Amino acid sequence: MAGIFKANDIVRAAVEAEKKGKEFYECLAGRVSDEKIKALFTDLAAEEVKHKEIFQSLLDRLEPVEIPAYSDQDEYDQYFDALINSHMLFSCGWGEFMLNQVQTEQEALKLAMNFERDSILFFKEMEDFVPEGEKKFVDQCIQEERKHLIRLKQMMPA
């Protein structure tokens, strides 16, 4: 698999992850009654939109995706969408399942913390694939995800 993906593939994945992150936080906000936690989830959903815009801008500056010789555009798009959706939180209804298991604010916060941790790991890996001059944008998002993780942890009951 090495060499299949280019920087724009990875950035495209980041755009999709941020879209899904927005939906994730909106869903969590609808499942909690604590107003402070609901406000935090709503704010994090808005942050995901900002991150998506950063990555979309980066994607717009990168060269177009070169489709592998053995694939056509539709097949490649389907493959890439399958790759995106293979993330544990978003695959085969697993995200829905996890969200449906949330019974308490603490469980919602833990799920959100796992989501942020996975995002940090994804973006750290992504840094290796983007051009040197664009790494600062990925790092900016990593720093934002770290702040999200801290905010979520601070809301956890002692």
Mean pLDDT by 10 residues, the chain (158 residues): 56 82 90 94 94 86 65 69 59 67 90 87 75 80 89 90
52, 15 contact by CB (below 8 A): yes
pLDDT at 2: 37
Class of the CATH domain delimited by 7-155:
mainly alpha
pLDDT at 6: 62
CB burial of 112-121 (b: ≥16 within 10 Å; e: otherwise) equals: bbebbebbbe
pLDDT at 150: 96
Where do runs of H (alpha helix) occur along the chain? 7-29, 35-61, 73-85, 94-101, 105-126, 135-155
pLDDT at 154: 95
pTM above 0.85, yes or no: no
149, 111 contact by CB (below 8 A): no
Q: What is the largest CA-CA distance in the chain?
A: 55
